[in-house]
Chain A
C-alpha cells in the first residue's frame, strides 16, 4: 500500500517551453501533497504544499507563477514548470500524505537545454 507514482520519470525540453509533471497516489487518497526539488549532491528542498481544492502554499523564494501547482483531485497533483530555463534542471520529487507519513514518488528528472 501507499504507492505514489510520478510521470514522466524523466523529460528533456527546450528552453522557453513548459513541462507538466504529474504526481498520483495510486491506492489512497491524499488531501495534501508536497513538491520537493533536489539539486545534484544536495538534500531536498520543499517547494510547495499542495492541498486538494485550494491554492498551493509556496515556500519563500519559490516563484508561484513559474511553478504552477494544481491539486484537482484527491489522487492527483500536477507541477507545471513554465518557460523553463536551464537553471530549472533538477530532480523533482512529490510526496503524498497518508495519516502521519509522507510517501514519496520516484521523482522526475528535468533537463532543460
Chain B
C-alpha cells in the first residue's frame, strides 16, 4: 500500500533555511505535492512536482525529488515567521486520483 512519512517537527530561526523531508513508498507516484496549513485553516497548495523531474524552484521554495530513494524535500529559503505552519507532502498515482498525505511537519520559526 501507499505510505507517506514526514518528521513531526522542525524549528528554525528567522532568516535561516528550512528543509522539510518526506519519504514515500509507492514508486508509481506520478505527482507529489507540498501543502501548507495554517492554524485552523484549510490547505494551501504551495508547489508540486512531476515524478519525471528532479527539482523545481518557485521563488523561496525549492523542491527536490530523489525518485530512486523515494525522497522528497521542500526547502524554504530565508524563512519568515509567517512561514510557521504545518506542511504536508502528498502523492498521487495520477490526475483525478486521491491524495495520500504524510502526517505533516510542524514548522516553528523563531524570531
Chain B interface size, under 10 / 10 to 19 / 20 to 34 / 35 or more: 10 to 19
Residues of B78-111 contacting chain A, CB below 8 A: 88, 95-96, 98-99, 101-104
Q: How far is the CA of A103 from the CA of B99 in the complex (A)?
A: 11
Nearest-CB residue, chain B, relative to A99? B95
Q: Please tell me which stretch of A13-21, A67-75, A78-86, A105-113 contacts chain B, meaning at least 4 of its Cβ atoms lie within 8 angstroms of it.
A: A105-113
Please judge, given known A-B contacts A97-B96, A100-B31, whether A105 and B42 are in contact too, CB under 8 Å.
yes
In the complex, which of the residues B33, B44, B101 contacts A44, with contact meaning CB atoms closer than 8 Å?
B101
- Asked if A54 CB lies within 8 Å of chain B CBs, one says no
Residues of A22-46 contacting chain B, CB below 8 A: 32, 34, 42-44, 46
Majority SS at the chain A contact face: strand
* Residues of B near any A CB (own CB < 8 A): 31, 33, 35, 40-45, 48, 88, 95-96, 98-99, 101-104
* Residues of A near any B CB (own CB < 8 A): 6, 32, 34, 42-44, 46, 49, 93, 95, 97, 99-107, 109
